[in-house]
Every structure is written in C-alpha cells, then in structure tokens.
Structure 1
C-alpha cells in the first residue's frame, strides 16, 4: 500500500500566503519594502523576507546553516530549498501563535513572503509541506533598470553581493531558475503581474486591488 503524503503544516483555508517576487533590484525601483508595508497596514499581513531570515540565520550563534548561507550569498547562488523553507515555517509558526486581531484568530494568518520561492522545487516544496500559496505578486521591470538601481544601492548598502559581477550572476540565476516559478503559477492562474516602472502610488493601487479580491 502506497504511503500517504502528509498534509501541509498550515491549512490554506485559514492561512493566506502571498509570494512577492521580482528580479534582483525590481524592489528598489518601486520600493518593494514600501509596497509590502502598505499592504501590511491595509490588510494586517505579517511580512516575511526570505532574504532577511537567511541573513539573520547566517549570523546566529550556533547556526547549522550559517556557513552554507554565507557561501551562497557571496556566490550569488540560491540557498538549498530545505533551509529556506524551514526558516519560513518556523517564522510563520511563531507569528500564528502570538498574533491576535483581524485575520489572526482560530489558527488563521496572513503572510506576505518576499523574495521566495526562487526555484520551482522551493515553490512545490513549500506548497506541499508548509502552506498552499494563494497568489504571486510579480513586480516586473527591465534588467537595465534593475542593474542601475542595484549599483546605486551599492554606494551605501555595504552588501558584498552589490557588485557588477555578482549582480550579473544573479540575473542569470533569476532567468534560469526563478522565471519558471512565475510560469508555473501562471498555469494555476495565481500570478498578478505588475509593471514596476511606474510610480509607487500606481503600483500600490494595482497591488491593493489585487489583494482585496482575495478577501472579498
């Protein structure tokens, strides 16, 4: 008799997960952080950045993943799926336990997950083991604009991955590995593609209207 597949940790009827994706630097063009904070204020989301969780983990004393994460960030490659998925699951579990208020009672929750999934196996792995995603917000723009923004950020960021060589690697990785994620969710009719070359206000109007439909 075949072994039955275990259910995800969270029930997608109770917990809403929205992925926020865009090419390297797309967020700098329209202020992806700004967009996420506006959506947090309007809809009561918890905003989780996969990149922030990984950066915190690489510096955490005693982390079993620290050196691996550091190497991946330096090389512009993607951290193994099981690491990122586990960090997100742990963060979500904590939030569901401690939060109260609209959208957060009786095991419910609302999450904006930023910069994840970067690969198809991450997408499928998270959907199957943690929670089925409801929507992907995809901020789209050109590589030229992304490069210009990242080099501008490099002047003040102090991040070791903000240099032309690593940025080019990140573009290649993005095209080869992240775009198939967008295509996959398009086949499931779960992608809201938003032109991020327009103003912050215009981008937010579209993003907000898209999210409103989920909760209407």
Structure 2
C-alpha cells in the first residue's frame, strides 16, 4: 500500500513552485525533482537516457514524453526518493499524468497529491519582471501564461476529477504559503 509523500507541484511560471518545493524538500527531507534539472544532469553525465535526450536538445526539439517518463521512473527508484518526492514541472499534459499514475501504481509506494499554487496574473507578471530576464516583458510573460494555462488546465482538471488536487493561494508571504502547504500535505 502507498507510503511516503508523492507531491506534484503545479502552477504558472513565477507562482513560487520552485521556491516552495525547496522549502518542503528540506522540511520533509525528500528530494525536489525538477524535470529540467534532471534532463540537464542526465545529459551532463552522459547517461544512456541523457545521450538520447541530447539528440533532441541539439535539434532544438522537445524531449519526447517516453524519454522523460523513463528519466522520472529512474529517478523515483533512487534511494533518496523512497520516502517521498516533490515533482516540479511534471506532468505537463494529461498523458504524462496518466503515465505517472501507472508508474506510481507499479511502484506501489505513493499516492500522489497535486498542489496548484494559485497566483493572479498581474502578480506573476510583476514577479517575473523583477526577476529581470532580458527576454521577459509583459507581452512575452502574458504569452507564457496563456500557453501554460492552455497546456496545464487539463492536468488540473485531471487531478481534480481524481480527487487529488489542492489549490493554495500563492499570493502571500513566502512563509504563509509554506505553512498552508504543510497543512495540506500532513
């Protein structure tokens, strides 16, 4: 039967997912797993999966789902993830969410809980403009938010329909959001 904490952090860019995932990772002593970082690490270490991913990255293409899913399966089987984990940036679509459910069923360790950090667009725009990336302006940020919503809304609906979604108001002080997250998770 399922044990451990399998947390899936959802939310638009600038919602505080990464920051909150790091906080809870320390709090619960479970790894914060970012698919982007995992890909970069696998490529840097030239693992077999990393070498496959490299060919897509070199061509400027998205890494296909099946390769990402293999990476995630590999990562969730590592020793530090046996008591739980926080996935950040995955799943990004319903087929990835369905695969993750099948994988977790196979591993028989975790009952995942999806947490959506809800932050108004205007606050996100301000946060991302403060980050100061040179390619960030109001228009590009709004476009990224539109793309995020278009792609991720079905994932939110998927977890909502499976009774595995909690929404947290991410438009508060960092510690208040962390406290709310801990209440939802424990």
Q: Would the TM-score normalized by the shorter structure come out above 0.5?
A: yes
Q: Which residue of 1 aligns with 2:184?
A: 210
Give the 3-state SS of the residue equivalent to 2:101 in structure 1: helix
Q: CA deviation at 1:67?
A: 4.3
Q: CA deviation at 1:36?
A: 2.0
Q: 1:56 to 1:167 in 2, by over 3 A?
A: farther
Indicate conservation of the 8 Å contact 2:12/2:148, yes or no: yes
Q: Which residue of 2 aligns with 1:185?
A: 159
* 1:113-124 alignment runs, 5 A limit: 113-124=87-98
CA distance in 1, matches of 2:151, 2:53: 22
Indicate conservation of the 8 Å contact 2:168/2:181, yes or no: yes
Q: Which residue of 2 aligns with 1:195?
A: 169
Q: CA deviation at 1:54?
A: 2.6
CA distance in 1, matches of 2:112, 2:130: 34
Moved more, 203-212 or 145-154: 145-154
List gaps (5 residues or longer) in structure 2.
none
Indicate conservation of the 8 Å contact 1:54/1:69, yes or no: no
Q: Which residue of 2 aligns with 1:7?
A: none
1:140 aligns with 2:125: no
TM-score, normalised to structure 1, is: 0.70
* 1:78-93 alignment runs, 5 A limit: 79-93=63-77
Q: 1:147 to 1:55 in 2, by over 3 A?
A: farther
User: C-alpha root-mean-square deviation of aligned residues, in Å?
Assistant: 2.6
1:46 aligns with 2:34: no
* 1:1-216 alignment runs, 5 A limit: 13-27=2-16, 32-59=17-44, 61=46, 63-69=51-57, 71-72=60-61, 79-94=63-78, 96=79, 99=80, 108-131=82-105, 133-155=111-133, 162-164=135-137, 167-212=141-186
CA distance in 2, matches of 1:92, 1:82: 15
CA distance in 1, matches of 2:54, 2:42: 6
List gaps (5 residues or longer) in structure 1.
1-11, 73-77
CA distance in 2, matches of 1:59, 1:125: 26
CA distance in 2, matches of 1:120, 1:79: 16
Q: How many residues align?
A: 177
- Which one has the largest radius of gyration? 1
CA distance in 1, matches of 2:51, 2:142: 29
TM-score, normalised to structure 2, is: 0.80
